[in-house]
Amino acid sequence: MRLERRAHVPLHLVILAPLAAVFAALLLAAGLIAAAEVNPLTAYGEMLRGALGSRLSITEMLTRATPLIFTGLAAAVAFRARLWNIGGEGQFFVGALVTAWIGHSLGVPGWIGVPLLMLAGMAAGAALLAGPAFLRLRFGVDEVVTTLLLNFIVILFVGLMIEGPLRDPLAFGWPSSVPVDGDFRLPDLVPRTRLHIGLLFAIAAAGAVWLVLARTVFGAETRAAGLNASAAAFAGISLPRTIMGVALLSGALAGLAGSVEVMGVTAGVTTTMSPGFGYAGIVVAMLAALHPAGVVAAAVFVATVFVGADAMSRATGVPSFIADVIVALCLLTMLVALLFTTYRVRR
């Protein structure tokens, strides 16, 4: 048996790959659910009902999907340029923290303040990834290690800030930062739910990212540099510049996730506000085959698993950690599926 590289990857395979990966992941997780002595079909049924069964649950799922779209885009942008940004989680938190800190006492009207705070969150995320990108370009330090380790540093730093200088005195001992001013809370998309207009921002961001990647000089140079750095250099495309540009864009998107989550949902920052949005963004990007439109769909899927798992856990007693298992399995099965879309198995 040998693997042969395909000359063309047909469109139906591109679409089939993530579906097959999800199916395989659910099948594998079914084994675990069965081991917990619950019928997997019942469990998955509860999961679907929990995420999509009512108007409220759908809005809840979409609320979860919103930051996942941003972090998924962040990972997709970076991975396309072979910049392995595993630090989405840290960038999410710095974006959130900066937004809450500035937004707490910013004395401008909401329509100026909201875009300003989004920019601040983006700048914070971008700055956090600029460091590892610089270290890679200057000294060849592997960014997988630096971005991953920064996540832990950032979360500890957030903990420090919300216990100390940014502590919310009105939070009754709950460790939380001061909240953003009420003027900077994002309006609801559906009244009396948590779903806010951040979802529209996220979808717009996906469109913008697609436009940048597919249509601009920056996008074309990034693609060339990511696929063949020496040919790009020969053509006069500066690798450091494209890598740094990608790092800023990717970090900004993850920072924006945190910023929008604060203004749309939590108001203040807590260390538990993210169930791993940054890490799940990596899975979202992979399931999307790094395509911005796919990111939106994949984020909806992952959010369904997250939200549905809670409901399933309540109804059947299977621990809700199964959501993390399913999401992680998706990454592995997707990698296998990608192998089969790029290569063909021959006897």
Partner 1 sequence: MTKVLELHNITKRFGALTANDDVTLTLDQGEILALLGENGAGKTTLMNILFGHYAADEGTVRVFGQDLPPGLPRAAIAAGVGMVHQHFTLAGNLTVLENVMLGSEPLTRLKSARGEAKRKLMAIADRFGLPVKPEAKISSLSVGERQRVEILKALYRDARVLILDEPTAVLARPEAMRLFETLRDMTKEGLSLIFISHKLHEVMAASDRVAVLRGGKMVAERRTRETTPGELAELMVGRKVERPVRHDHQIGAPVLVADKVRVEDGGETRLDDVSFTVHAGEILGIVGVSGNGQAALGALLSGLAHPASGTLTLADQDVGHLGPRGMIRAGAGRVPEDRHAEGVVGELSLWENAVLERLRTPEFSRRGFVRQGAAKAYTNDLIKRFDIRGAAPDTRIRLLSGGNMQKLILGRVLSNGPRFVLANQPTRGLDEGAIAAVHAELLAARAEGAAILLISEELEEAVALSDRIQAIVKGRLSEPISADEADPQRLGLMMAGVWTEDDHAA
Ligand X SMILES: Nc1ncnc2c1ncn2[C@@H]1O[C@H](COP(=O)(O)OP(=O)(O)O)[C@@H](O)[C@H]1O
Q: Is the C-alpha dihedral spanning 176, 180, 181, 187 positive or negative?
A: negative
Among 220, 336, 339, 345, binds partner 1 (CB under 8 A): 220
Among 1, 2, 4, 105, binds ligand X (CB under 6 A): 4
Among 186, 224, 256, 290, binds partner 1 (CB under 8 A): 224
Residue among 1 and 7 whose Cβ is closer to ligand X: 7
Using CA atoms, how far apart are residues 105 and 108, in angstroms rounded to an integer?
9
- Name 302's Cβ contacts closer than 8 Å, sequence gap at least 6: 65, 68, 280, 283, 284, 287, 327, 330
Residue among 8 and 55 whose Cβ is closer to partner 1: 8
Residue 230 near partner 1 by CB under 8 A: yes
Select from 54-62, 125-133, 218-226, 269-277 the region that touches partner 1 (CB under 8 A).
218-226
Among 15, 35, 233, 293, binds partner 1 (CB under 8 A): 233
**Phi and psi for 346 in degrees, rounded to 5?**
-125, 155
Q: What burial class does residue 263 get, using C-beta atoms within 10 Å of its C-beta: 0-12 exposed, 13-18 middle, 19+ buried?
A: buried
Residue among 4 and 37 whose Cβ is closer to ligand X: 4
Residue 37 near ligand X by CB under 6 A: no
**Binding to ligand X in span 5-24, by CB under 6 A:** 7
Residue 231 near partner 1 by CB under 8 A: yes
Query: Quick one: angle between helices 11-35 and 322-342, nearest 10?
Result: 150
Residue among 223 and 344 whose Cβ is closer to ligand X: 344
- Name 162's Cβ contacts closer than 8 Å, sequence gap at least 6: 168, 175, 176, 177, 268, 269, 270, 271
**Binding to partner 1 in span 179-198, by CB under 8 A:** none
> CB–CB of 220/80 below 8 Å?
no
Select from 109-117, 209-217, 277-285, 316-324 the region that touches partner 1 (CB under 8 A).
209-217
Least separation in angstroms between CB 211 and partner 1: 9
> CB–CB of 52/61 below 8 Å?
yes
Residue 83 burial (CB count, 10 A) = 26
Site residues (vs partner 1, CB under 8 A): 2, 7-8, 215-221, 223-224, 227-228, 230-237, 346-347
